[in-house]
Amino acid sequence: MITDYASQIFSSFGNEQPRHILSLSGGKDSAALAIYLRDRVPDIEYIFHDTDKELPETYDYIGRLEAILGKPIVRTTPTDSFDHWLTVYRGMLPSNHRRWCTKMLKLKPFETYVGDGPVINYVGLRADENRTGYISTKPNILAVYPFQDDGLVRADIISILEDSGLGLPPYMDWGRSRSGCYFCFYQQKIEWVRLLETHPTYFELAMEYEERAVQFGEQFFWCQSESLRQLAMPERVARIKSDWEKSQAKKRANRKSLSLVETLGGLEVEDDSHLRDGCLVCSI
């Protein structure tokens, strides 16, 4: 799987062979890629960057995946925790405009683990996704995209997971669309509602972070337009659920309108476009 381009990139390392590394996020795509490459790249290394703010379902999923792979998944833990970096950043919580959480809790541990030797980093972007993966600034790391190279789309990824017995991540059972920290700012409002209903303790902790931010001179909302305390009000929860149901009904109606295209050979891909602006390192 090492291309001529990879050989050129690593020519300065002489005879040193590159390591093969796949970072797992706890999401469906990276899990499927791990299974896909298990027999294709025998010496591949699997790593999981634990932020200590993950959902319990994510830890369960990683554990079951490890059993299927038959090889240890290395857990890397940042030297300094989220709360440490929150203090360093003077109480400024991360957002889509200041993603220090990704940099300090995911990317830095990855580059530390990799070191300075040649590395091929396998990324789980699919052929039906139009976004860019993590590209390290370190010259010793080459990112490759097997699913895109082999033309695998969402349906293929689900088949890989089902055929292996792993299935989809369990947090998807209650409506969470992504892996990552329980307070991820990329969550949709309906996902915050579901977090409230499924893991009220984590919702409360996220709300505490939000409300403490004011002490540092900043009014910050995870949801941008409203506080979690406002979102948790019964009438607001009911409204969010109602709006979500209406949006889903509209999507279903749009799918029906595609029936002629499907008959003529078109392929409908389930819409996960709301993930495209999210943190790739955390969610794939």
Higher pLDDT, residue 262 or 269: 262
Q: Measured over all CA atoms, what is the biggest interatomic distance in the chain, rounded to whole angstroms?
A: 65
Query: What is the model's pTM?
Result: 0.86
Question: What whole-number distance in Å separates Cα of residue 213 and Cα of residue 90?
Answer: 9
Inter-residue contact 150 to 126 (CB < 8 Å): no
pLDDT for residue 137: 75
pLDDT at 224 over 60: yes
Q: What single DSSP character describes residue 54?
A: B
Q: Which domains does the chain have, with CATH numbers?
A: 2-172 (3.40.50.620), 189-254 (no CATH)
Report the run of H or E that residue 226 belongs to, with start and end.
Answer: none
Amino acid identity, position 203: F
- What is the tens place of the pLDDT at every residue in 53-104? 999 999 999 999 999 999 999 998 888 899 999 999 999 999 988 899 999 9
Inter-residue contact 175 to 65 (CB < 8 Å): no
Report the run of H or E that residue 182 belongs to, with start and end.
Answer: none
